[in-house]
Amino acid sequence: MIKIANAPCSWGVLEFDLEGETAGYLQVLDEITATGYAGTELGDWGFMPTDPMTLRKDLSDHHLELVGAFISVALAHPESFTKGEDNALKVSNLMYNAGYNNAFIVLADDNEKVEERTKNAGRITPALGLSDKQWSVFATGAEKMAEKVLEEYGYKTVFHHHCGGYIETPDEIEKLMDYTDPELIGLCLDTGHYRFGGGDPTKALEKYADRIWHIHFKDYNAGTGEASVKNKWNYFESVKQGVFCELGKGDVDFKAITDALRDRNYNGWIVVEQDVLPGMGNPRHYAKANRIYLKTLGL
């Protein structure tokens, strides 16, 4: 059975150091529940309680499951590995002791930290990519973290491609999948980021059927994407201008994706994400509209 979650990033709770205020975690949990979702991801460390019993109680009080936690690591730089692994183990320890044994570690690059990648999100060229040596370092680091988390806590790791990071385009995603052990690293397919990065998520779902263990539903406004290219907006300006719109209002074919998930008997979580900047828009309205849209697909 496919289950539907939302995530704190839909309320502007992002891993970036940005101006603007976001709602507190209890308000976010209230609104996730009120708008019809059954689960959530953790959000940045410290956004939700870091005491496992408190976390468990707060989520249980809201009738929500914890389905995963996002970890960003500058995997192209070996000096970041120790801190990244420590963070992954810290988060895993919290989820494990709170009793959420079926969650995922959602691993990503330390996105938006490389100026040229951030500035050119949605229009990346090979010249802005990793060198062969960096590819090897990146993949090895991801595998080592995934192996450590699996050994100590039993959690599987999925990699989240992301615009503004080193794994953005379909070619980069394919290369990472080729470089990594399919027993250790799955793919978190984010439909909006895949589309913004220049690909068709329905084709990605077919191509990586065995590697997609977790999925984020995010829509993409093609008109805003075209304006981003024309005006040379950076990643944050594109988000501010609404490149990730309400589900069903962009050009991601969620019906085809949902049908494909059913055909392969996918029984995991779909996490709705409509990334907004802190203080931007009306997250509760978006969450409700997105849940209503998913019901038209039988979800």
pTM of the entire predicted model: 0.96
Q: Where are the alpha helices (DSSP H) in 244-298?
A: 254-263, 283-296
For the chain, domain boundaries: 3-296
Beta strands in the chain (DSSP E): 3-6, 39-41, 65-73, 104-109, 156-160, 185-190, 212-217, 269-272
Question: Which three-class secondary structure state does DSSP give residue 98?
Answer: coil
β-strand partners of 5: 39, 271
Q: Does residue 244 contact residue 288 with C-beta atoms inside 8 Å?
A: no
DSSP code at position 94:
H
What's 3-296's CATH class? alpha beta
For each of the chain's 299 residues, which pLDDT tens digit applies? 899 999 999 998 875 454 556 778 999 999 999 999 999 999 989 999 999 999 999 999 999 999 999 999 999 999 999 999 999 999 999 999 999 999 999 999 998 889 999 999 999 999 999 999 999 999 999 999 999 999 999 999 999 999 999 999 999 999 999 999 999 999 999 999 999 999 999 999 999 999 999 999 999 999 999 999 999 999 999 999 999 999 999 999 999 999 999 999 999 999 999 988 888 889 999 999 999 999 999 99
191 vs 253: CA distance, rounded Å: 9
Q: Bridge-partner residues for 170, per DSSP?
A: none
- CB-based burial, 268-291: b 16+ in 10 Å, e otherwise: bbbbbbbbbbeeebebbebbbbbb
